[in-house]
Chain A
Amino acid sequence: MAELQSVIDKAGVLIREVQGRSPDESSDTGHEAGDASGDIDQLKSRLAESETDLQETTDRMVEVEHQRGRLMSLYVATCELHETLDLEEVKRTVGEIAVELLGADSYALLLRQGDTDGYEVAVSRQTVGVADGLFVGPDYTGGDAMVDEALVDGVLRTSTEEGSHALAVVPLAIKGSTMGALVILKLLDHKASLTSEDRDLLDLLAAHAASALFAAQLFVATDRKLRTLEDLVEVVRGG
């Protein structure tokens, strides 16, 4: 591009030289110079168009790279959530997504306690001294309006409401029943706010964390039953 610009500039200098000659000298060359001048204007215009195209392509490339990175994060988060049936590991993964990918400084993962209406604080970070201590644990007994509403209606919330300390509440619902929620209470100091891209991650958590946690809970319950049955068989055999 720079080379082409240099050629056009040199051509421009030559034309100006030719046009500067006396009428006798330049009677023939004058017409040629006029034509060349038109060509140069055309070339300059095409160069400008090419530069615009190049800029647009570069911008698009940057955007594509960014989208690729974003999709990569979503892919990794999904894989990690479903990689294991170990309940503690799934909980830890939800926490890691909150901190490492969303930039949460303070969060709490609430999970329904068995078939009751109560919720335990299953995993949390930096909740002491935050949100009036509502999420310090071991149980969440209500008190944060946004969280309480999300636990009832199962709707994801991402803007602070009156009576709430949460920045975002991600309800974890499966088969229409809310089994818990991820509550984001504070972001890392260098993270100004949640972005539209973070919203994609929150949606992913709402969709996948619930099923991953449900599967792990089911596995724990089934495994416990299996062990009880095995113990029973041992006792019967021994007797």
Chain B
Amino acid sequence: MQPKKVLVVDDSKLIHKMFEVMLRSYALVHAMDGREGLERLHEHPDIDLILLDINMPSMNGFEFLEEVKRSEAFTEVPVIIVSTEGKDQDTVRGLQAGAAAYIKKPFRNEEILKLIERLPPEASD
């Protein structure tokens, strides 16, 4: 199986390190905010999953998600929001904007791994 390429957009270095350890069999691309995330996405058009934080400087997660879903090239890329924002309205906003799932931090590592395994085949192949 080809390694999956995952874009991690989060302003926490700790979270980037965590995903690096958790997702060893995946090729990871890192971005510290939404704006950098969009740049990385255009540099790596073969990205097939995005793990996205909400509270970030420069461009927040919702704005990034809207850009991604507006773009014809990346609209099908599944996005999992992983955020400390736990209000119902945030979850609803994220899912309505096209996120595949919304995970609240602090998360259980196995929760994210299971979610990635269960993504539709076109997303994980």
> B106 near A101 (CB under 8 angstroms)?
yes
Interface size on B, residues (CB 8 A): 17
Q: A75-B21, A76-B17, A93-B14 given as contacts; is B105 within 8 A of A100 (CB)?
A: yes
Q: Is the interface of A mostly helix, strand, loop or mixed?
A: helix
- Closest chain B residue to A75 by CB distance? B21
Contacts between chains A and B (CB distance < 8 A), count: 62
Q: Using Cβ atoms and an 8 Å threshold, which residues of chain B touch A188?
A: 84, 86, 104-105
Pair A66/B108 contact, Cβ less than 8 Å: yes
Nearest B residue (CB) for A89:
B13
- Cβ–Cβ < 8 Å partners of B27 in chain A: none
Residues on A with C-beta less than 8 A from B106 are 100-103, 191
Closest Cβ of chain B to A77, distance in Å, is 7
Min CB gap B95→A, angstroms: 16
**Chain A contacts to B: CB under 8 angstroms:** 62, 65-66, 68-70, 72-73, 75-77, 79-80, 92-93, 96-97, 99-103, 105, 188-191
A-B contact list, 15 entries, CB within 8 Å: A66-B110, A68-B110, A69-B108, A69-B109, A72-B21, A72-B22, A76-B21, A92-B13, A93-B14, A99-B84, A99-B105, A101-B14, A102-B106, A105-B84, A189-B86
